[in-house]
């Protein structure tokens, strides 16, 4: 294969879920498109590194030093919702149930993958939580082993501060059959049951 093709295929293969065959298929598809279309794609990719930054306050994707949420004066500055990855923010925003700020950890504590608390922005979170305006830190981390471990670590770090720490509810997803729910999830759902008005 000629060198420019090999070079692009090798770069595509570095993306998650893309192997040699998929990379080849994508490249061969691009070669059939007109050059303007390919140019637009390359410019868009270039813009990812040149234009998209990380918010210096919360770690969200941003066009400037501060993201749209941190810059928005209407957001509730008494609440910080902690997520593991920036794309979790978009998911929570889509619910329209939360109007506070966010904090992106950059992952979860996971000794199996050699990720320790020092690799995450937990110290930055504790610094933010010291702000007198902050009343509540909401943990919206995945309800799995690594998420539990990370949550407990954060709780320990925030305990000395005058701030309430809560976590999002756990249980059976909406629209799901009980029959196909595993016992751990069902157990959590029972523990977190609440009164019906």
Where on the chain is the footprint of another protein (CB under 8 A)? 16-17, 109-112, 114, 116-118, 143-146, 148-149, 152-153, 156, 173, 176, 180-185, 187
Burial of 141 (0-12, 13-18, 19+ CB in 10 A): buried
Asked whether 135 and 99 are in contact (CB, 8 A), the reply is no
Task: Give min distance, CB of 21 to another protein, in A.
Answer: 13
Measured CA to CA, the distance from residue 102 to residue 111 in angstroms comes to 25
Block residue for tokens 């608390």: 117
Rounded least distance, CB 35 to another protein, Å: 30
Identify which of residues 21 and 133 has a Cβ nearer to another protein in the complex. 21
CB of 75 or CB of 110, closer to another protein: 110
State the angle between helix axes of 145-158 and 122-129 in degrees (0 to 180), rounded to the nearest 10.
Answer: 40
**Nearest distance from C-beta of residue 157 to another protein, angstroms:** 10
Nearer to another protein, 98 or 153 (CB): 153
């Amino acid at each position: 294969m000629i060198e420019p093709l090999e070079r692009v295929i090798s770069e595509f293969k570095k993306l998650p879920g893309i192997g040699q065959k998929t990379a080849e298929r994508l490249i061969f598809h691009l070669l059939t498109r007109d050059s303007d279309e390919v140019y637009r794609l390359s410019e868009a990719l270039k813009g990812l590194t040149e234009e998209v930054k990380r918010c210096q306050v919360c770690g969200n994707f941003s066009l400037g030093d501060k993201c749209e949420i941190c810059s928005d004066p209407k957001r509730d500055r008494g609440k910080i919702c902690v997520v593991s990855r920036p794309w979790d923010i978009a998911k929570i925003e889509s619910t329209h149930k939360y109007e506070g700020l966010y904090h992106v950890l950059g992952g979860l504590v996971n000794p199996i993958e050699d990720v320790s608390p020092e690799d995450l922005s937990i110290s930055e979170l504790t610094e933010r939580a010291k702000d007198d305006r902050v009343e509540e830190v909401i943990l919206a981390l995945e309800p799995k082993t690594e998420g539990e471990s990370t949550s407990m670590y954060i709780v320990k770090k925030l305990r000395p501060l005058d701030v309430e720490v809560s976590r999002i509810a756990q249980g059976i997803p909406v629209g799901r059959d009980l029959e196909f729910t595993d016992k751990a999830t069902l157990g959590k759902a029972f523990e977190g049951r609440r009164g019906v008005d």
